[in-house]
Amino acid sequence: MIKYPNMKKTQPQKTQYTNTRGLNLEKDINDSNAYYNAINRAVIYKKPTPINVVRVQYEKRSVAKIIEAYYQQASTTDYNGVYRGKAIDFEAKETKSKKEFRLDLIHAHQIKHLASVLKQGAIAFIVVRFITLNNTYLLDAKIVIDYYNQKNIKAIPIEVFEEKGGVITEGFTPRLKYLDVVDDLYFGGGQNEKK
């Protein structure tokens, strides 16, 4: 198997015992980003999980061993970077539902963050995998925010992902060809010169 120079970068994430829901999707995205990075198509990373370190032990002068720490809730989305000159920012979620994406799966601060980066001109979206259907979609953040802000609306129907989003095709390299959907939705299907 091909070794991507920055495959290592995804390993810290894998070894962290964070909420395991979405870990498969996370791994797929991390691997895809490592591939995109390796072929110079995009530079997109998952942000490390913020951890509040309380106590550190220095066994050797050089090695700091953390002996008490706690996971913190991220203030932003999980992924960001740059692609075709634009800032990219997105969140990835998995759901077992076959018909909708429950909005309580996204935190209020993530909605706020997506709105802020949209305002600054970033390309922002969510990637949602419907595990049971084994379908993964990309949906623009603006649509997600509009649904989120509507009273009495608790979920985004899968039809919205079908009609206004894009299906992310899966393969070997990259595992999730999500930048092809970004090309279609945000660059009029134009292909990246660097591809």
Residues of this chain that interact with a copy of itself (CB under 8 A) are: 6, 8-9, 11-12, 15-17, 37, 40, 42-43, 45, 47-54, 56, 63-72, 74-76, 80-89, 113, 116-117, 119-122, 194
Closer by beta carbon to a copy of itself, 74 or else 155: 74
Least separation in angstroms between residue 76's CB and a copy of itself is: 6
How far apart CA 113 and CA 51 sit, in angstroms, is 19
Q: Are 170 and 134 spatial neighbours (Cβ–Cβ below 8 Å)?
A: no
Nearer to a copy of itself, 99 or 194 (CB): 194
CA–CA gap between residue 171 and residue 118 (Å, rounded): 29
Taking the complex as a whole, the smallest distance from the CB of residue 23 to a copy of itself amounts, in Å, to 14
CB atoms within 10 A of CB 142: 14
Q: How far is the CB of 152 from a copy of itself (least distance, A)?
A: 26
Nearest distance from C-beta of residue 62 to a copy of itself, angstroms: 11
Closest distance of CB 113 from a copy of itself, Å: 7
How far apart CA 102 and CA 106 sit, in angstroms, is 8
The residues facing 86 across adjacent strands are: 83
For a copy of itself, give the closer residue by CB, 55 or 96: 55
User: Please, which residue, 45 or 97, has the CB nearer to a copy of itself?
Assistant: 45
Nearer to a copy of itself, 120 or 134 (CB): 120
Counting other chains too, the contacts that 151-156 makes at CB distance below 8 Å and 24 or more residues apart are: 153/103, 154/102, 154/103, 154/104, 155/97, 155/100, 155/101, 155/102, 155/103, 156/100, 156/101, 156/103
Residue 31 or 130 having the CB closest to a copy of itself: 31
Q: What is the C-alpha to C-alpha distance for residues 125 and 89, in angstroms, rounded to an integer?
A: 7
Least Å distance between CB 54 and a copy of itself? 7
Evaluated on CA atoms 173, 174, 179, 181, the torsion sign reads positive
User: Quick one: tokens of 135?
Assistant: 């379908």
